[in-house]
Amino acid sequence: MAKYSTGGAGGNAGGSCELCGTEDADLRTANVAGAQLEVCADCAQHGDDATSSSDDDDSRSDSDRKRRAAQNAARIDDARKGDPTHWEEEGTDYEDDQLPYLVTDYGKRLTDARQDAGLQLEELADELGIDQADLLAVEQGRATQAGVGGSVISKLEDRLGVELAES
């Protein structure tokens, strides 16, 4: 008997499809949205396993998909390990430009200080010679994720007279 029944009060005793209720002598089991249901041929196409002809095909295609995904992930990882320059583009030296520990609300503090100084984002970035994307990342509170250097934080603190890094 099926795990769930959407049929009438009599259940599946009359040989009816548990999805559409059609009387059918040739019912088959299908997994529909996680439920094992007895369905007619028309409703079987709505099953989670409708693309395969047998359980062996389902397990084989699932394991093949997982194997291909693991191979692709390994290829990407190998490519990065073989060429570490993607971490060191343009001669970046993280030891010399480490991001300091930032205060909790550093993004809001910077935005308020820039606006109080009457500067647009572009103006401040040009004046300090920093990338506008880095400035925006700091204002949005995602300096760490964007890889902003400590020199950018220092320039901003000096220019705007605001404390962004913890002492």
* pLDDT tens column, 77-86: 555 555 555 5
How far is C-alpha 77 from the geometric centre of its chain's CA atoms? 18
Q: What are the tens digits of pLDDT across the range 46-61? A: 777 655 444 455 555 7
Residue ranges per domain, the chain?
Answer: 1-50, 55-85, 93-160
Q: Which two tokens stand for residue 110?
A: 């910077």
Report pLDDT for 97: 64
User: For the chain, first and last CA: distance in Å?
Assistant: 69
| Torsions phi, psi for 113 (to 5 deg) | -65, -40
Reported in sequence order, the residue ranges of 28-155 that DSSP labels E, i.e. its strands, are 28-32, 35-39
Q: How far apart are CA 47 and CA 51, in angstroms?
A: 9
**Tokens 């020199």 sit on residue:** 151
Q: Which amino acid is at 32?
A: V
Confidence (pTM): 0.44
Q: What are the tens digits of pLDDT across the range 14-35? A: 588 887 888 877 888 888 777 8
> Under CATH, domain 93-160 is a member of which superfamily?
lambda repressor-like DNA-binding domains (1.10.260.40)
Q: What are the tens digits of pLDDT across the range 113-157? A: 999 999 999 999 999 999 999 999 999 999 888 888 889 999 999
- The answer to whether the beta carbons of residues 112 and 139 sit under 8 Å apart is no
Q: Is the dihedral of CA 132, 135, 141, 146 positive or negative?
A: positive
Of 66, 7, 70, 17, which is closest to residue 40 (Cα–Cα)? 17
